[in-house]
Amino acid sequence: MNALRFSRKHLGIPYIIFLSVFVILPLVLIVLYAFTDSEWHFTLNNFADFFLRSGNLKVLAISFGLALLTTVICILIAYPVAYVLAQSKLKASGIYLLLFILPMWINFVLRTAAVKELLYMLDGLGIYDVSENYFLSTIIGMVYDYLPFSILPIYTVLIKIDKSAIEASMDLGANPVQTFFRTTLPLSMPGIMSAVTMVFLPTTTTYVIADTLGNSKVTIIGNLIKTQFDAGTAESWHVGSAISLVLLVIIFASMLFSGKLNENDQKGGASKW
């Protein structure tokens, strides 16, 4: 009897099984539910129900508005931090980076609960009015939770930038400001785009933060999907799947768009040199 021979291809079998059961199969079920009614007949009414209700479109606009604002704030904070850490010659710069990304190691729900307690503490001191700033509280929570996901990819790209490119820019007469905007910033665009993807996409659906810090008064698309599935009726599952599929398509299109921008930035940076 010949002994079994395993190759590197066989090592991928567990991953293929996991991918099939927990990714492909759920996606197939979502598509199946989205395009059928409660009697499993093909229909597009689930999508019509979503788009014809103005309240749903408002929720979708709020979701992307909050996600966009959160992403912009995260990038504006993360880039200077990552830049200073990347340029620092201190031996402790790695420790400082660790302090910034340490919250990633803490449970997501616990971090959100901690922010809520802090905001209510400020409310008790008369510094911050929680009841009048539900949207602001939600943004604060999102920025806090996803800021580490912005710092790390930008820092990773900045430390890999060829120092000779910076020196060449200075030798050609560019001042530090010109060197930053015409050399450092374009070369760090892959890190920025990666940070945008890691922040913008998940914040469109993170209803836990909206529920916890928005006191259930801030409704985003994630809340809408959760509400449909919590209803427990046969029809609501089909509508919830349709909403999930719409969001999936939008997110996929956003990823393609950001990837295209990243590719163009890399080609543009390469052509300059």
Residue 258 has pLDDT above 90, yes or no: no
pLDDT of residue 270: 45
Of residues 108, 200, 206, 86, the one with CA closest to residue 152:
86
What is the token pair recorded at 137? 């509280």
Give me the mean pLDDT over the 32-49 stretch.
Answer: 91
CA atoms within 13 A on the CB side of 194: 17
Rounded CA-CA distance 19/267 in Å is 33
Q: Which of 109-113, 233-237, 262-266 has the lowest mean pLDDT?
A: 262-266
Angle at 93 (CA atoms; ends 92, 97), nearest 5 degrees: 120
Task: At 221, give phi and psi (nearest 5°).
Answer: -60, -30
Q: Which of 87-91, 209-213, 214-218, 224-228 has the lowest mean pLDDT?
A: 87-91
Give me the mean pLDDT over the 45-51 stretch.
Answer: 89
pLDDT band at 44 (very low <50, low <70, confident <90, very high): very high
Of residues 111, 170, 181, 177, the one with CA closest to residue 145:
111
**Higher pLDDT among residues 43 and 2, named by residue:** 43
Of residues 68, 217, 41, the one with CA closest to residue 130:
217
Give me the mean pLDDT over the 162-167 stretch.
Answer: 84
Within a 10 A sphere around the Cβ of 155, how many other Cβ atoms?
A: 25
End-to-end CA distance of the chain: 61
The pTM score is 0.82
pLDDT of residue 6: 62
Of residues 49, 151, 142, the one with CA closest to residue 93:
151
pLDDT of residue 211: 87
Work out the percent of the chain whose per-residue pLDDT is above 70. Answer: 90
Angle at 66 (CA atoms; ends 144, 249), nearest 5 degrees: 110
Task: Show me where the domains of the chain are located.
Answer: 64-272
Looking at 1.10.10.10, 1.10.150.530, 1.20.1260.10, 1.10.3720.10, the CATH number of the domain 64-272 comes to 1.10.3720.10
Rounded CA-CA distance 40/48 in Å is 17
Chain-wide mean pLDDT for the chain? 85
Q: Which of 6-10, 47-51, 108-112, 219-223 has the lowest mean pLDDT?
A: 6-10
Rounded CA-CA distance 186/193 in Å is 11
What are 99-149's pLDDT values in tens digits? 777 877 888 888 899 999 999 999 888 889 888 888 999 999 999 999 989
Residue 1 has pLDDT above 50, yes or no: no
pLDDT of residue 263: 64
Give me the mean pLDDT over the 41-50 stretch.
Answer: 90
Residue 259 has pLDDT above 80, yes or no: no
pLDDT of residue 65: 92
pLDDT of residue 4: 57
Rounded CA-CA distance 159/133 in Å is 38
Rounded CA-CA distance 169/184 in Å is 10
Give me the mean pLDDT over the 145-159 stretch.
Answer: 91
What is the token pair recorded at 42? 């093909």
Give me the mean pLDDT over the 241-265 stretch.
Answer: 79
Residue 39 has pLDDT above 50, yes or no: yes
